[in-house]
Structure 1
């Protein structure tokens, strides 16, 4: 699987791999392996990346070309 979009999004924001790795609480080397498709990205990390870049996991993995995240459903508040 190609993860070129996570590199493109990072570079578009002028961030380093180290910047993203710190946000994810992983090493820069691990993050580099994700970007270079040397290691599969765990779903938890993929979800954090989608949130960080304001997009969907489907966009990150190339299942859609729509960069905008899916709309959030309003949460049901039991105390309302």
Structure 2
């Protein structure tokens, strides 16, 4: 099951680990920096397609990103 709080935390952590700003991540996904901030705060949740693209971008499993698994890497 999708765990919003974990998704928000992991998205922020992955972005920070890559030393990216919200503006840089927004540019990658063609959204505003406010949208990225809302994703990280849990005020908005991206579409499933976008969540999958984010997982691909950060090279993590979709299950990890949404809190189903604690295993970061894709199989």
TM class, shorter-chain normalised?
0.7 to 0.9
Q: Of Structure 1 and Structure 2, which has the larger fraction of its residues in helix?
A: 2
Once residues 37 and 53 of structure 2 are traced to their aligned partners in structure 1, the CA distance between those partners, rounded to angstroms, is 16
1:8 paired with 2:18, answer no
Of 56, 60, 65, the match for 2:70? 65
Q: How does 1:1-80 map to 2 (within 5 A)?
A: 1-2=4-5, 3-70=8-75
**What are structure 2's unaligned runs of at least 5 residues?**
none
**What are structure 1's unaligned runs of at least 5 residues?**
71-80
TM-score by length of 2: 0.88
Q: CA RMSD in A?
A: 0.8
How many residues matched? 70
Structure label with greater radius of gyration: 1
Q: Once the two structures are superposed, what CA deviation does each residue of 1:26-60 show, in whole Å capped at 9, x if it has no partner? A: 01101110011001221111011101100111111
Task: Spell out structure 1 runs of 4+ moving beyond 3 A.
Answer: none
